[in-house]
């Protein structure tokens, strides 16, 4: 009997050792580093070259749809996610917001029931080069404006579709948040330009071997898109919710006017500095932990001491190896070098691109209710200045309640190709604050299943032109 017990115990021990060897990654010294679940591995990941001469490369992670609506993957939509900044890594979106697995304060991964790849393929790209795990061998490789940034992104997408030829026919959506309120329209505009060239026969001989990148819609969450209008919203909103008094409001409004004056003078660098001073003054006057969510006691993805819990996780040797990142790259959430390179771009507008895109593809704008910086009032400010043939009807349309399971989830307004959603109980990072609600929003918009009957018109409802 004792011998049998020893045999059983030995079998259990050997089985445990096998499991450990199979699932635990080790550092070069051989010590246990981190348990990365096999089911959390991406479908595909690695680098996309954007400059053969310099070696500039963009890092990407792709997850296939978990439960697509059809077995024919050629019809399953793809979502590209771009983080903001400028210079913030899309791994924030991946491991903290809308990816299939989230990192918690304990440095472990947990399944995200609100992942945006439930029905759709989900592609994260660290953009521009120099951001996150992306590589910029020279400072000059980092873009300083939206035109160069969009060009690099477009080159990266072509490389992605060359690598994954079977994905080329799939519906494609460009999405992002915060400073991606400029990235998303810039890339989308570039995609349509390239499609127009291809359809008109311009350079058609040279394009035959290069895959077309289609565009079926775009979505911007809590975006900075038209700074000259948005910068004026900060002080009034803070005043009316009781964060500052009237004297502070007047002082902050004077700083906003200074930023606006510099925009009108095309003094882009000093306009950006003026906006930064305005936001710093507002932060100090209000005493908030972050302007991105007035409810929070600490900033997003941070411990109580203010340090990030994403940085130690993403700098683990095992994590870099698992997601295909260059082991030698030290990951930071937001690159100061990229931010400095983009300073002259920050206060420029991409509203005109959104206006052009509205004539061609569906656009979704959404904001978290408690974002003081790039929230509802900030977006409403530039929507009032929208120059589009449906603008008057859109602004006159009814704002409807959006209920999920008979509980208020937000507010929706929609007309033709433009939909606007306010998500309750959320801040700047809507998918982090309301994962299931944000998942429902995106799935409803793409599929055309209206959040409110006859209100939210998704891409499957709106008639699209020149998309392929």
Active site residues: 178, 371, 428
What are the structure tokens assigned to 443, written together? 């799935």
> How many other C-beta atoms lie within 10 A of the C-beta of residue 183?
28
């Amino acid at each position: 009997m004792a011998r049998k017990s020893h045999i059983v115990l030995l079998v259990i021990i050997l089985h445990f050792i096998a499991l450990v060897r199979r699932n635990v990654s080790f550092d070069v010294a051989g010590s246990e580093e981190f348990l990365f679940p096999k089911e959390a591995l991406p479908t595909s990941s690695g680098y996309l070259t954007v400059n053969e001469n310099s070696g500039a490369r963009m890092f990407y992670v792709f997850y296939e749809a978990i439960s697509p609506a059809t077995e024919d993957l050629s019809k399953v939509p793809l979502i590209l996610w771009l983080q903001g900044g400028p210079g913030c890594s899309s791994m924030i979106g991946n491991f903290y917001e809308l990816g299939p697995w989230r990192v918690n304060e304990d440095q472990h991964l947990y399944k995200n029931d609100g992942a945006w790849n439930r029905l759709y393929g989900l592609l994260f790209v660290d953009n521009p080069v120099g951001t996150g795990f992306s590589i910029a061998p020279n400072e000059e490789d980092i873009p300083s404006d939206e035109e160069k940034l969009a060009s690099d992104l477009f080159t990266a997408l072509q490389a992605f579709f060359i690598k994954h030829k079977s994905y080329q026919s799939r519906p494609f959506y460009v999405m992002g948040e915060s400073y991606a309120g400029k990235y998303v329209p810039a890339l989308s505009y570039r995609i349509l330009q390239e499609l127009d060239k291809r359809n008109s026969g311009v350079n058609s001989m040279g394009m035959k071997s290069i895959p077309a990148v289609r565009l079926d819609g775009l979505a911007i969450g809590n975006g900075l898109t038209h700074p000259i209008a948005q910068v004026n919203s900060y002080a009034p909103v803070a005043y009316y919710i009781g964060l500052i008094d009237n004297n502070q409001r007047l002082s902050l409004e004077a700083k906003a006017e200074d930023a606006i004056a510099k925009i009108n003078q095309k003094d882009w660098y000093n306009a950006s500095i003026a906006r930064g001073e305005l936001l710093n003054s507002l932060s100090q006057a209000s005493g908030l932990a972050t302007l991105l969510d007035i409810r929070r006691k600490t900033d997003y993805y941070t411990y109580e001491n203010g340090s990030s819990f994403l940085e130690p996780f993403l700098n683990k040797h095992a994590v870099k190896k698992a997601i295909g990142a260059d082991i030698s790259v030290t990951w930071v959430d937001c690159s100061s070098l990229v931010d400095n390179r983009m300073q002259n771009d920050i206060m420029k507008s991409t509203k005109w691109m959104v206006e052009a895109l509205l004539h061609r593809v569906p656009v979704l704008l959404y904001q978290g209710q408690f974002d003081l910086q790039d929230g509802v009032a900030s977006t409403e400010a530039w929507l009032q200045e929208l120059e589009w043939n449906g603008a008057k009807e859109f602004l006159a349309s009814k704002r409807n309640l959006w209920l999920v399971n008979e509980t208020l989830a937000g507010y929706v307004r929609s007309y033709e190709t433009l939909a606007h959603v306010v998500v309750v109980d959320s801040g700047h990072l809507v998918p982090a604050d309301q994962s299931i609600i944000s998942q429902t929003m995106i799935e409803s918009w793409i599929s055309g299943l209206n959040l409110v009957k006859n209100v939210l018109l998704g891409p499957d409802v709106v008639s699209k032109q020149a998309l392929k």
